[in-house]
Amino acid sequence: MGVLADVYGMLSMCSKCGICQTACKTYKVDGAETKVTRGRIQLIKAVAEGKLEPDENYEDAIMSCLLCGECAVACPSRVKGNELVLAARRDFKLRKGIHPFVKSFALKTLANPKKLERAFKLFGGMGKNVLRRIDGVDYFRGVDIKGMNVAKVPFLEQVPEKITVQNPKHKVAFYVGCFLNYSLDQTAQSVVKVLTKNDCEVVIPKGQVCCGLPQYVYGDFETAKVNARKTIDSFLAKDVDTIVVACATCVAMLKEDYPKLFADEPNYLPKAQQFSAKVLEFSQFVAKIGIDQSKLHNSLPVKVTYHDPCHMVRGIKVTQQPRQLLKSLPKVEYIEMNEASRCCGASGLVQAFYHEMSTDITRQKTQNVKDSGVEIVATSCPACMMRIQGGINMAGQNQKVMHVADLLAKAYEG
């Protein structure tokens, strides 16, 4: 059974009760048994037992999963369907490779900083100019491509490796991540501003690479390990107490998945564990050290809600800290929206290859935003920001999606 042998016990725990149907967003859109956790588990089990050859239909079943983890929360037998799908994808990669070519090319591009920078520059320059001249092409597979920001200069080239403050109380390193580096550079600047305003000396190691999660979730552990080692080695070389991450996806990979990734390497595993123990999500860290309320003075009177990224609420289980920070802002009225932890439909490359399904899932999230009556949706994930803002724009709504760090940074202005 190969890779699937390690999870066969969990595969057998599924009682086929169907409670996962109430949680699975892909099932609610598609209605097919192969698009719900119960059905996916039975297919994976059949492959593990040699009763089913992994074909295109099987690939479709395991690749369409959002990996949101909502099924694992709902399951009375505590079956972690998202982890079983990850194992199935790893097994499929070892058997068949990564299909199709476009997906393979995208994953290779994401893993290589030079290729990724060229891709962003191409998109931000010629690509967007071409799109502006094509009537009706505002969105591509549910993504607001015209509205997507591209940094003129990557964030890592805008800042020195160390940003000092007088009498620092904390020494932290900032893992930037691809989106904040190449697209949301102003959000990265906001992170640094909030940290320095709270007496943190900030180290920003140069040569940072993708965390490896895109490759990891499609079973390409080899490429993910290359990037993970670069990240671990470069950050552990710095004299810092905490590694701050402002991307929900990245922080889950760095904190939760790195030790899993190196579980088969006993010589390197302790290093991965040492690294992961230092990792904290941005709002988690800021709430921990506490903010000086006397420095907050310039917030606008707005109604704000919060969207829980899947990797935050069901990954590292950080939910209260971002809300705590938002509620601390002067003049901000916090309103909890319905289904705040509902997946927004982004889920990496799933939104590109299953765009109709993702768009339907996003539509419900944007409706919940509208119903909440807020002006701003705060969140902690760049991918969620892009997905939800695109959904809001497509729906003709006028709410703005912002990172928690951006709202905090604005409160320090003046």
The strand pair at 200-203 and 162-163 is best described as: antiparallel
Residue 144 above 70 pLDDT? no
Residue 172: band (very low, low, confident or very high) from pLDDT cuts 50, 70, 90: very high
pLDDT tens for 327-370 read 999 889 999 999 999 999 988 778 878 888 889 999 999 999 99
Residue 87 has pLDDT above 80, yes or no: yes
Distances (CA, A) of 195 to 98, 164, 245, 294: 40, 11, 12, 15
How many angstroms separate the CA atoms of 79 and 365, rounded? 26
**Whole-number pLDDT of residue 309:** 97
The DSSP secondary structure of 369-399, one letter per residue, reads: HHHHT-SEEEES-HHHHHHHHHHHHHTT---
Domains 2-96 and 293-410 in one fold? no
In the predicted structure, residue 22 carries a pLDDT above the cut 60: yes
Q: Is 148 exposed, middle or buried (0-12, 13-18, 19+ CB in 10 A)?
A: middle
pLDDT for 112: 72
140 pLDDT higher than 80: no
* Confidence label for 414 from pLDDT (cuts 50, 70 and 90): low
Which superfamily does CATH assign the domain made up of 293-410 to?
AF0625-like (3.40.50.10700)
Tell me how crowded residue 376 is: count the other CB atoms within 10 A of its CB: 19
Report the pLDDT value the prediction gives residue 294, as an integer from 0 to 100: 79
**What does the pLDDT read at residue 297?**
76
Q: Which CATH superfamily is domain 2-96 in?
A: Alpha-helical ferredoxin (1.10.1060.10)
The per-residue pLDDT for 79 is: 96
Residue 343: how many CB atoms within 10 A of its CB? 29
Of 55-69, 112-126, 130-144, 178-192, the least confident: 130-144
- pTM attached to this predicted model: 0.92
- Of 214, 259, 407, 381, nearest in space to 312 by CA: 381
| CA–CA distance, 340 with 307 (Å, rounded to integer) | 5
- Token digits of residue 118: 């060229």
Instruction: Examine the pLDDT at 132 and tell me if it is beyond 60.
Output: no
d(CA 358, CA 181): 25
- Residues 135-139, mean pLDDT to the nearest whole number: 52
Tally Cβ neighbours within 10 Å of residue 78: 9
**In the predicted model, is pLDDT for residue 264 greater than 90?**
yes
Domain-by-domain residue ranges, the chain? 2-96, 293-410
Q: How confident is the model at residue 127 (pLDDT cuts 50, 70, 90)?
A: low
Lowest-pLDDT range, 101-105, 261-265, 273-277, 357-361? Answer: 101-105
